[in-house]
Amino acid sequence: MKQLSFVSNLKIVERLIFLKSTGSVKDLAATLGMSDRMTFRYIDYIKSQGLKIEYNRNIPSYVYAKSNERLLVEFSIKKVKVKK
């Protein structure tokens, strides 16, 4: 179930970055109920996917450097029929 938690938190972080409403890393960590260090790991994971993220002190929020790019986070479980 750890994978589901990771995906859920990643979706939240990504959406807040897209909406430009993360607040500081402390604010984001509090929203997610985790440490600052773990929150940075989520931000670093998004960066590792080739997206540039910056902190805008004027807002304050983490934002995508390119407004036309974002990370699509999907997770699905489906019932399928197996051919015999």
Q: CB–CB of 17/64 below 8 Å?
A: yes
Task: Return the pLDDT at 42.
Answer: 96
Residue 27 has pLDDT above 90, yes or no: yes
Structure tokens of 48?
A: 């590792």
Task: Return the pLDDT at 73.
Answer: 86
Task: Return the pLDDT at 3.
Answer: 63
Has this prediction a pTM greater than 0.85? no
Q: How confident is the model at residue 2 (pLDDT cuts 50, 70, 90)?
A: low
Among 34, 35, 36, 45, CA closest to 11 = 45
| C-alpha to C-alpha distances, 74 to 6, 18, 37, 50, 77, nearest whole angstrom | 11, 16, 24, 17, 10
Task: Return the pLDDT at 5.
Answer: 87
Domain ranges of the chain: 2-64
CATH class (in words) of the domain with range 2-64 = mainly alpha
Bridge partner list, 55: 62
β-strand pairing of 53-56 with 61-64: antiparallel
What residue ranges in the chain does DSSP mark as E strands? 53-56, 61-64
